[in-house]
């Protein structure tokens, strides 16, 4: 299952449309890291709203994706984690350490704007 990746200004938005296999998650990670370089993106949003389950592999893959993207010079925000999924993740001890999260796409964009544009102002 291919995940559409949209370019919105300096950001990339990957909106997961259905449950993904482990291979699909790895492909998404590869595609996003490559496109950050191709488009010189400053931020990435991964929308996981449709996911009913986030197992340890999905959590590890999202975390490693965010760290790879950070090493390429961009920020990552995971948005749309459902309350039941968050509850299950906590119960299973699954963590997205070092990865920003936001309630929805709007908050994710605002967070990226704050992180990427706020950093530039302080550097001047």
1 confidence band (pLDDT: 50, 70, 90): low
**pLDDT tens sequence across 4-31:** 999 999 999 999 999 999 999 999 999 9
Return the pLDDT at 12.
98
Angle at 47 between CA 65 and CA 55, to 5 degrees: 60
Cα dihedral sign, 51-56-61-62:
positive
- Chain mean pLDDT for the chain: 93
2 confidence band (pLDDT: 50, 70, 90): confident
Mean pLDDT of 93-113: 96
Mean pLDDT of 29-40: 96
Domains and CATH numbers, the chain: 5-123 (3.30.750.24)
Contact criterion met (CB below 8 Å) for 31 and 20: no
Mean pLDDT of 74-83: 97
Question: How far apart, in whole angstroms, are the C-alpha atoms of residue 107 and residue 86?
Answer: 17
Report if pTM > 0.85. Answer: yes
75 confidence band (pLDDT: 50, 70, 90): very high
């Amino acid at each position: 299952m291919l995940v559409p990746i949209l370019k919105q200004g300096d950001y990339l938005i990957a909106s997961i449309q259905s449950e993904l296999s482990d291979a699909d998650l790895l492909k998404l990670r590869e595609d996003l890291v490559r496109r950050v370089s191709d488009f010189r993106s400053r931020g990435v949003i991964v929308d996981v709203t449709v996911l009913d389950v986030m197992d340890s592999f999905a959590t590890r893959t999202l975390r490693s994706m965010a760290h790879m993207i950070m090493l390429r010079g961009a920020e990552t925000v995971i948005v749309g984690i459902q309350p039941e999924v968050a509850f299950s993740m906590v119960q299973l001890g699954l963590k997205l350490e070092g990865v920003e999260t936001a309630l929805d796409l709007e908050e994710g964009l605002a967070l990226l704007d704050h992180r990427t544009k706020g950093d530039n102002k302080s550097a001047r």
